[in-house]
Structure formats: structure tokens, C-alpha cells
Chain A
Amino acid sequence: MFEQVVVSGLTLGAIYALIAIGFTIVFSTVRVVNFAHGEFVMAGGVLYAWLNVVHGISVGVAIPLAIAGCVVLAWLSYELCLAGMNKDNHIAQVMVTLGLGITIKGLAQVFIGKDTQFPPTFTSGAPAAIGSVSIAQQSIWIVGSLAVMLGLLWALLQKTRVGKGMRAVAINHYAAVLMGISPKRAAIIAFALAGLIGGAAGALLAPVASAHYDNGIFLGVKGFAAAILGGLGNPVGAVLGGLILGLTESLTAGYISSVYKDAVSLVLLLAILLLRPQGLLGRRLPNKL
């Protein structure tokens, strides 16, 4: 029982980690907590289900299409809503991303529908068995995707010019501008990456936990909890936070109460925000005046 709970916790945690990475990338380059991020994840799942279940497009085509849709959505979100906004009016920024999230949810509701869908798993086959623990194929896909994406993200941020530019913007916005790096381009790439990774998380999660237009805000809050747990702005922290959150939730559901598992992870979020807002891996930041 315990091993099985841990496996499902790690699977869930990998999903949260993927969502948290999106929050972290956008926060470090644009300095905005993107309240619409959960809706990108929702869109990934809902688009995949819509393309596959409703339109009968095969799994191998539907998944890349759904993820591409999320990238476009994220790019448009930045271009149409956040670009050119006053950076000091944080309340307006919060409200704009919140409104953006509601818009995406409304689009899904109006154009795709309100039905809950269960798209097929990526590959069908018997679950792998290690000793007494059985691991579903979709879990392997989820954890594998996290590993691959982390690797690619690391290569992008460390090895390429674009990635180095993004890190420069994250470290010091003005110095980066003086070095000829365009913060707007960095922001667009950050949003596109968030859409890509978030959309993939949504598509990976949908076969296990259903796709529904109303899921976004929940996924967003959980992903944010994971990001803040590890320290916002730190991709490694995001992964750590995601795994801790997933394990906590699955242990709560397994041993305490499945009804209150969401409440437990949100209480964890509040506790971290209040006691250690820089996260487990973050360093304390001085207060800006």
C-alpha cells in the first residue's frame, strides 16, 4: 500500500512540477505571477481531449497540436494583455492575468464545451510491475516527460544565447537592456515555454484525471504552491516543491482523508507563504521600497 501511494504521489508531483516550472520561468523574466497559468494547463488537456475524442484525430497528432495550441495561447496572452502594461501597478497586473484566465476558461466553455472528457492514455498496455508495485504506463510518460523537459530547459538556459539572455533579464532587467538584450523577446519566450510545458502537463494529466474547462484554477493554485514551496524563480526548486506537494497530497488521500487532500496542500501553501515566502531553496530577498 505505502509503495503504491508513493508512486502515485510522485506521478502527481511530476505534474505539479511541470506546472510550477511555468510559473517560475514567467516570474523570473516578467516579474508577474501569472494567474492564467493554470488555464494553459487546462487548455492542454481540453484541446487534446477535444481533438482526439470529438474529432477523432489520432493520439500522436492530437498531442502536439494541443501543445502547439497552448504555446500560441500563451504567446497571444502576453502580446495582447501584458505587453506594455505599467510594471509598477501590481494590482492591475494581477487582475489582468486573472481576467485572462477567466477569458481562457470562457473560451473553452463556449467553443469546446462543458463536458468532462477522458482522452486515451498515450500508450495502452499493461502496467509495469516492480515487485508488488504496479506502475501505469501513463505514469512513466509523465515522469519521463518531466525528465526530458528539465534536460531541454537546462540546455536552453545554460547553453544557448536565447537562454542566457533570459537569465540575464531575470538577474538584472536594466543591465540586460544595456547589453542589448530585448526583455520583450525574453518575456515572449518565457510565456511560450510556460505554454509548452503547461500544455504538455495538461495533456499528460487528462487521461488520468479527466479534462474539464473548470479545472484550470485548481491546477494553477497547486502549481503555484509547488513553485513557492521550492522557491519562486528556481526551476530545481519547482521540481522539488512539486514532488513534495504530490507526495503530501497522495499520503493525505491514502491515510487521512481524500476529501480534504486539496485543503491540506493549500494549507501547506499558506504556511509556506507566511513562514518562508522565499521557499525551501530560495534566499531571503530584501524588501524593495
Chain B
Amino acid sequence: MEITASPSSSVPAATAKRTGITLSADRKLTLVLMVVFPICALLAPNSFYKSVLVFAMINAIAAVGLCLMLGFAGEISIGQAAFYGLGAYVTAFLANQFHIEPVLAICAGAAAAMVIGWGISRPLSRLHEHYLAMATLAFGIIMYIVFANARPFTGGLDPGTSVGKFAILGFDLSSMDRYFWVVWVALGIASLLAGNVAATQVGRALLAVKMSAPAAASVGIDVVRAKAFVFAIGSLLTGLSGGLYAFFARSFNASTFGIGYSIELLMMVVLGSLSRVSGAIVGAFIITILPVLFEHFDDYKTLVFGITMVLIMKFLPSGLVEGVFSLGSRLLRRKGH
């Protein structure tokens, strides 16, 4: 009895364990990244590299948001820069006009982006892939036009907006060394939130919606609500990253929030992974660091991004790092046999 019982009972245990591992592998990787960032910061030779690192983490927060939308729910958005801009401008406006605590201003900016994201998601949930992509692109351009022309609020393209120093209860945290930890904590919260969404029923509902909305509806998933939820979370995180950017750049204008940034965010997710939070963080890191590593990169940036995007989406549609990762593990498994 015992001999026959043990293999049969080990089979479900093994499969359960395997799904357990794939779910937490993402979290483990995220945790590793969260440790790697401070080590990189310690090793950074000067404050320029440190600021690049901080910017990479700010971008990572927005990329995590887009990863949830695109990777989990299949809701493509080419207008994320709108939420990034909303977060930044609301934060700057509140901090400048009402002198409220910077942390609260950033939270308010993120909340504003979330409300707008949730608001547009209700009508947009009627649209599918191609139409949704075009609608979000149009939304992004409209918001850019508003940012560039609503000069009493945003300062437009010239002179733009500037904000004061970041501080918590009067304690100055604006130096790059200290602001690093502020952004680090924010990224930690963002990835924890995204990881929780991914690992729970909500995330599985989103995956079901991505595969087939009618099928998901047939098993009792409220598709419109699920889409609205992921839009709200995605724009919340992107707005948060915009608010952090406001205090990072201290002075910025509307040109930051054009289509270019939306496409860079897409590149981050595509380069990393369409289904892992950690992948989005790696992608954000790569895209932010590339212009620093290659001196004349900015001239060729558009061309390199375009070719990379075509190649990845044609040959590794689950994302570059993800694709290489799964290819590698498949090869390893084959060797093991």
C-alpha cells in the first residue's frame, strides 16, 4: 500500500509545488533586484550614475504599471505618458500652490492619475486590441496637447514647471543619496502591490480576460470591472512614478510627456517580460541605462528601438528577457535528460 501510495500522492504535490515556484520566482527575482539596486548605488562612482539609477527606478514603477495592463490583462496602452504627466503636474501644482507635504502631493498626483485612468477605462473597455491601441494613442496625444497649452497650470513647453525640494516633515531628502531611498521604498511598494495582484484571484481573472473576454465572462468574471481595475492600478503606478519624477527633475516641461515616453515604456515592458513584474523592472533598467552607456545613442535611439521592438515581437512575443530565460531553461532541461 505504502509503495503505491507515495508516487501517486507525489504527483499532485509536485505540480502544486511547480506552480508555487513559478509564481514566487517572479517575487524572488524582484526581491533580488531590490537588493541589487542599493548595491549598484553604493558602487556608483559619482552622483551622475546614482541619478541614472534613481531615474531607472522611477521608470520601473511606471513600467510595472504598464506590465500589469499589457502583460496580464492584454490591455495595450500607447498613452501612458498622459498618466505620467498627470502625476507630475498634479504633484507639482499642489506642492507649489498649497505647499502641502511632498509625500501627500505625490499620493494626490497618483490618485488623480488613477481616477482619470479608471474614468477612461469604462468607455474604453468596449474596444479591442487595434482600436484600443489607437484610442489610447489619441488620448496620449490629446493630453500632451493639453499639457503643452494649459500654461497657467503646467507652464507649457516654456518655461515649464519647477518644484521645491523633497522633504518629509521638514527633513530634507532631496540629495540624490537620500532621494534614492525614497524611490527605492516606492518601487518596493509598487512591486509588492503588482505582485499581489499577479498572484491572487484578481491576476488570474485578468489573465482569463486576456485570453478571451467572452470565455472569462462565461465563468463569472466581471470583464468590465477587471479591465477598469487594471487600468486604475496601471495609471496609479504610472502617476506615482510621475510624481516622483517631479521631485527628481525639479524642473521639467511638457516635452517630457509626449508619445516618445509612452513608447519608451512599451519598450521597457517588451524588452523585459510581458508576464513578470521583475521583467518590467529589468527592462526599465536597460532602457534607462542604454543612452548613458553609448555616447551617441540618442541619435540612433529611435532606429534601434524600432528594430528591437519588431524583432522581439516577431520572434519572442513574450518579451526578450522572458524569452531568453525560458529558452535557456528548456535547453538546460534537455541537457538534464
Interface residues of A (CB under 8 A from B): 32-33, 35, 81, 85-86, 89-96, 98-107, 109-110, 217-218, 221, 224-225, 228, 259-260, 262-263, 266-267, 269-270, 273-274, 277, 287, 289
Contacts and interface: CB of A to CB of B under 8 A. Distances in A.
A260 B76 contact: no
B302 A105 contact: yes
A263 B266 contact: no
12 contacts: A86-B317, A90-B129, A94-B129, A96-B313, A96-B314, A102-B305, A103-B307, A103-B309, A106-B301, A106-B306, A259-B149, A277-B126
Interface in B57-96: 70, 74, 76, 78
Nearest to A273: B135
B302 A260 contact: no
B310 A96 contact: yes
A98 B130 contact: no
Nearest to B274: A91
Interface in B251-266: 259, 263, 266
Contacts of B139: 270
Contacts of B299: 109-110
B337 to A, nearest CB: 29
B142 interface: yes
Contacts of B130: 32-33, 90, 93-94
Given A91-B74, A103-B306, A266-B138, A277 B314 contact: no
A98 B263 contact: yes
A95 B309 contact: yes
A270 B135 contact: yes
A98 B266 contact: yes
A82 to B, nearest CB: 9
B103 interface: no
A106 B303 contact: yes
A91 B129 contact: yes
A79 B135 CA distance: 27
Contacts of A92: 313-314, 317
Chief secondary structure at chain A's binding surface: helix
B152 to A, nearest CB: 14
A85 B131 contact: no
Given A96-B309, A102-B303, 13 more contacts: A33-B131, A33-B133, A85-B314, A98-B263, A99-B306, A99-B308, A99-B310, A217-B259, A262-B141, A269-B138, A274-B123, A274-B124, A287-B214
B212 interface: yes
B305 A94 contact: no
Contacts of B146: 263
A262 B138 contact: no
Given A92-B313, A94-B130, A98-B78, A110 B303 contact: yes
B317 A106 contact: no
Contacts of A109: 299, 302-303
A260 B313 contact: no
A157 B177 CA distance: 66
Given A98-B263, A224-B134, A263-B146, A91 B78 contact: no
Contacts of B225: none
B133 A35 contact: yes
For the complex, would chain B's binding face be called helix, strand, loop or mixed by DSSP majority?
helix
Interface of B: 70, 74, 76, 78, 123-124, 126-131, 133-135, 137-139, 141-142, 145-146, 149, 212, 214-215, 259, 263, 266, 270, 299-310, 313-314, 317
B134 A106 contact: no
A20 B65 CA distance: 33
Contacts of B301: 106
Contact of B306 (A86, A100, A273, A287): A100
Nearest to B149: A259
A85 B127 CA distance: 23
Contacts of A103: 303, 306-307, 309-310
Contacts of A107: 303
A257 to B, nearest CB: 9
B309 A102 contact: yes
B313 A221 contact: no
A255 to B, nearest CB: 17
Contacts of A218: 141
Contact of A221 (B127, B134, B310): B134
Contacts of A98: 78, 133, 263, 266, 309
Contacts of A260: 145, 149
A221 B129 contact: no
A279 to B, nearest CB: 11
Contacts of B304: 106
Contacts of A85: 314
A103 B305 CA distance: 7
A29 B131 CA distance: 17
Contact of A81 (B134, B215, B259, B314): B314
B303 A221 contact: no
A86 B301 CA distance: 28
Contacts of A102: 263, 302-303, 305-306, 309
A266 B306 contact: no
Which of A32, A91, A218, A221 has the largest count of B CB atoms less than 10 A from its CB? A91
Contacts of B302: 102, 105-106, 109
